């Protein structure tokens, strides 16, 4: 019997395929598989992918982020591994045969085992996390939020950081390596750029009035006595000393929020907004308040409440409120009731102050996942080694639940009226970005960083938009964790919380009312231009702006309005407050050096500046 006839008898021929379309389809499929040319399909496509990748990327490495190269690279790498495995197994089997003929049985068995192992790996490759599809550019989802809807401000200043890495005898947070003055200027520019105002005071007033009006409080700004809570990310303070409040020695140089940036934010709140220090609380409820933050900030702001899981040495111990938190999933049925921290529940305004990093379970961790620490326990139900019966938040992360259209606990946190629902401002500290949850600081390779620390800060009033922008940056910089399938699924779910793809009825406060859209999700057009639909004028999605030092109104362009502002401040010190650094050089005084900076940026695209004049 011929091979073709044998195949027909085993898998169906014209006679056995007469009983329906499904059988006929299966018959044609097996016939196609046994065409000789099909056997060469993978080697030919793999070889072409390798050639295409090398020809395009070697002359210009930045092409590695192009969509065609994202498709070619997996095929090329799979082909190379297949080729190496095939060659290795062939050599191993030949060596085994040679050793057996010469009665070298131990060497023969070793080579035979190696050959069998390589064949097994070829047939059963190691399981890898499901990879996400390349982002689809400029397709906004959801409804943009903010006084400037969907606006995300990105400030990049390489002069903010100067650290030699782990080889340095001093830590990254030392003032010699993180310049407080540059950081303060960056925060000032970010706030003005977000509101589109020329002074810090006008900017904060605009942000507050928009926020209060959307919450039904009327067109009012900050009222003295109102409380402000700030959630920072102290994840790497786990198992830290509860007597000295110091991090474990091996975690010293793994990043938390920069103390310089925390101090800059507190100066804005106290000196510009007018909040009393005792009305501000800051911390991470599941962690201690470490000395490298407290010791640098407390002397200037002694009356601020520095939240810590354990009280003492000037720290305020977190307490449970009676405000419940509900998870919108059946998996949480029968678990212990979560309650919000008292300081967060009693606050009139909430500030989500995250850091920029990837994550082995979540893909990315910025403002959304920063709220995993907004409860007085760990996301996995434990606290200092003790296990409780709380809902395990980690089960909704893409490592455990990959793919899209799934329930994401992050959406509940982002939408609870006493957390995301009363968040005035979202900030991402990107001075030193961390690789994985362990927060190991890594220099970035993509432009404009090009081997330096990111030295960036991102701000927005749209929780979905700011995480979308950070996701785009993380996706381009790292080809591993941010590429896990489902890493940005929580952003889709949050943007479409009123009708999410998962079908989840998101109701974190248990009032029976489904959440509305929490913001707008979108990916940029490409990593070189970094344009979103509002930048391009094609939609109502995200607007990424990068106000330079001469851009007073934060519209991401240096024009005649900025020149008019500059001339109006000529040789006059800002009288708004000591924290208002609204001059190009950031010292509150406008002189000829500021005009030189202004001329450098005149009509230039601020997303691609060539650098500041110092």
Q: What is the pLDDT of residues 217-263, one digit of tens each?
A: 999 999 999 999 999 999 999 888 888 999 999 999 999 999 999 99
Rg from Cα positions in the chain:
28
Strongest mean pLDDT among 515-519, 524-528, 585-589 = 515-519
pLDDT score of 190 more than 60: yes
| Angle at the Cα of 538 from the Cα atoms of 535 and 540, rounded to 5 degrees | 75
Q: Residue 315: what pLDDT?
A: 97
Expressed in angstroms, the distance from the first to the final Cα of the chain is 85
Strongest mean pLDDT among 30-34, 50-54, 113-117, 429-433 = 429-433
Query: What average pLDDT does this structure show over 128-144?
Result: 83
Which position has the higher pLDDT, 78 or 468?
A: 468
Q: What is the distance of C-alpha 325 from the center of its chain?
A: 24
Q: Residue 3: what pLDDT?
A: 37
pLDDT score of 49 more than 50: yes
Report residue 121's pLDDT band, with 50, 70 and 90 as the boundaries.
low
Before 448, cis peptide (omega within 30)?
A: yes
**For residues 605 and 546, what is the distance between their CA atoms, to the nearest angstrom?**
9
The 3-class secondary structure across 362-419, one letter per residue, is CEEECHHHHHHHCCCCCCCCEECCEECCCCCHHHHCCCCCCCCCCCCHHHHHHHCCCC
Local structure of residue 158 (DSSP, 8 states):
G
Q: Residue 19: what pLDDT?
A: 40
Q: What is the distance of C-alpha 527 from the center of its chain?
A: 15
Q: Residue 95: what pLDDT?
A: 80
Tokens of 529: 């231009």
Which residues, including other chains, have CB under 8 Å from residue 135's CB and lie 6 or more apart?
Answer: 472, 475, 488, 523
Strands 305-308 and 228-231: unpaired
Q: From start to end of 10-137, where are the E strands?
A: none
239: left (phi over 0), alpha (psi -120 to 50) or beta: left
The pTM score is 0.75
| Angle at the Cα of 147 from the Cα atoms of 144 and 149, rounded to 5 degrees | 25
Report residue 360's pLDDT band, with 50, 70 and 90 as the boundaries.
very high
Tokens of 558: 């240096």
Q: Token pair 């000395």 is at which residue?
A: 291
The H or E element that residue 23 is part of is helix 21-33
Local structure of residue 55 (DSSP, 8 states):
H
Contact 518, 396 (CB under 8 A): no
Contact 12, 27 (CB under 8 A): yes
Q: Residue 54: what pLDDT?
A: 72
Q: Residue 81: what pLDDT?
A: 64
**For residues 175 and 179, what is the distance between their CA atoms, to the nearest angstrom?**
6
Local structure of residue 273 (DSSP, 8 states):
I
Contact 144, 227 (CB under 8 A): no
- In the chain, the percentage of residues whose pLDDT exceeds 90 is 61
> Sign of the C-alpha dihedral, residues 392, 397, 403, 406?
positive
Q: Residue 65: what pLDDT?
A: 44
Q: Residue 124: what pLDDT?
A: 57
pLDDT score of 394 more than 80: yes
**For residues 294 and 313, what is the distance between their CA atoms, to the nearest angstrom?**
10
Report residue 612's pLDDT band, with 50, 70 and 90 as the boundaries.
very low
Tokens of 527: 């990593």
Which of 6-20, 146-160, 329-343 is predicted with the least confidence, judged by mean pLDDT? 6-20
**For residues 606 and 551, what is the distance between their CA atoms, to the nearest angstrom?**
9
Measured in residues, the chain has a length of 614
Q: Residue 513: what pLDDT?
A: 97
Structural domains of the chain in order of their starting residue, each with its CATH number: 3-39 (no CATH), 41-123 (no CATH), 141-545 (3.40.50.11440), 553-614 (1.10.1330.10)
Query: What average pLDDT does this structure show over 552-561?
Result: 60
3-state secondary structure of 440: strand
Contact 330, 338 (CB under 8 A): no
């Amino acid at each position: 019997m011929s091979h073709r006839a044998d195949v027909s008898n085993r898998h169906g021929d014209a006679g056995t395929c007469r009983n329906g379309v499904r059988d006929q389809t299966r018959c044609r499929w097996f016939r196609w598989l046994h065409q000789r040319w099909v056997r060469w399909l993978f080697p030919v496509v793999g070889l072409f992918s390798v050639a295409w990748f090398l020809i395009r990327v070697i002359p210009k490495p930045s092409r590695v982020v192009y969509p065609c190269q994202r498709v070619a690279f997996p095929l090329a790498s799979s082909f190379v591994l297949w080729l190496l495995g095939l060659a290795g197994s062939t050599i191993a089997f030949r060596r085994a045969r040679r050793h057996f003929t010469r009665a070298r049985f131990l060497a023969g068995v070793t080579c035979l085992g190696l050959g069998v192992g390589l064949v097994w790996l070829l047939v059963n490759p190691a399981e890898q996390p499901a990879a996400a599809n390349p982002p689809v550019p400029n397709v906004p989802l959801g409804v943009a939020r903010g006084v400037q809807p969907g606006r995300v401000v990105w400030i990049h200043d390489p002069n903010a950081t100067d650290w030699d890495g782990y080889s340095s005898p001093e830590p990254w947070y030392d003032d010699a390596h993180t310049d407080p003055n540059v950081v303060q200027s960056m925060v000032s520019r970010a706030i003005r750029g977000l509101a589109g105002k020329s002074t810090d005071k006008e900017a904060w007033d605009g942000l507050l009035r928009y926020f209060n009006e959307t919450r039904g409080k009327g067109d009012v700004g900050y009222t003295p006595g109102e409380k402000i809570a700030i959630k920072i990310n102290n994840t790497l303070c786990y198992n830290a000393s509860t007597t000295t409040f110091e991090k474990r020695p091996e975690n010293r140089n793994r990043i938390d929020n920069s103390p310089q940036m925390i101090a800059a934010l507190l100066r804005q709140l106290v000196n510009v907004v007018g909040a009393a220090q005792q009305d501000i609380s800051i911390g991470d409820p599941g962690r201690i308040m470490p000395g490298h933050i407290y010791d640098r900030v407390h002397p200037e702001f002694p009356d601020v409440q520095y939240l810590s899981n354990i009280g003492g040495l000037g720290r305020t111990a977190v307490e449970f409120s009676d405000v419940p938190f509900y998870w919108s999933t059946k998996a949480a049925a029968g678990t212990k009731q979560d309650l919000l921290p008292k300081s967060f529940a009693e606050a009139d305004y909430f500030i989500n102050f995250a850091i920029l990093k990837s994550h082995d379970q979540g893909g990315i961790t910025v403002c959304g996942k920063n709220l995993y620490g907004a409860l007085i326990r760990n996301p996995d139900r434990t606290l200092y080694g003790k296990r409780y019966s709380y809902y395990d938040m980690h089960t909704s992360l893409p490592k455990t639940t990959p793919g899209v259209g799934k329930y994401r606990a992050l959406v509940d946190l982002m939408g609870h009226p006493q957390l995301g629902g009363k968040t005035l401002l979202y900030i991402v500290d990107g001075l030193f970005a961390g690789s994985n949850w362990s927060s190991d600081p890594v220099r970035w390779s993509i432009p404009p960083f090009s081997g330096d620390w990111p030295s960036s800060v991102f701000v927005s009033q749209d929780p979905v938009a700011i995480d979308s922008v950070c996701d785009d940056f993380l996706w381009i910089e790292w080809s591993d964790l941010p590429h896990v399938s489902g890493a940005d699924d929580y952003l889709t779910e949050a943007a479409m919380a009123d009708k999410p793809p998962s079908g989840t009825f998101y109701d974190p406060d248990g009032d029976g009312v489904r959440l509305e859209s929490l913001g707008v999700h979108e990916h940029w057009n490409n990593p070189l231009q970094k344009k979103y639909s509002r930048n391009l004028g094609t939609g109502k999605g995200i607007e990424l702006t990068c106000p330079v030092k001469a851009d007073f109104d934060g519209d991401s362009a240096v024009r005649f309005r900025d020149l008019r502002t500059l001339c109006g401040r000529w040789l006059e010190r800002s009288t708004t407050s000591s924290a208002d650094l609204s001059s190009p050089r950031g010292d509150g005084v406008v002189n000829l050096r500021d005009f030189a900076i202004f001329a450098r940026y005149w009509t230039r695209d601020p997303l691609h500046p060539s650098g500041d004049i110092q």
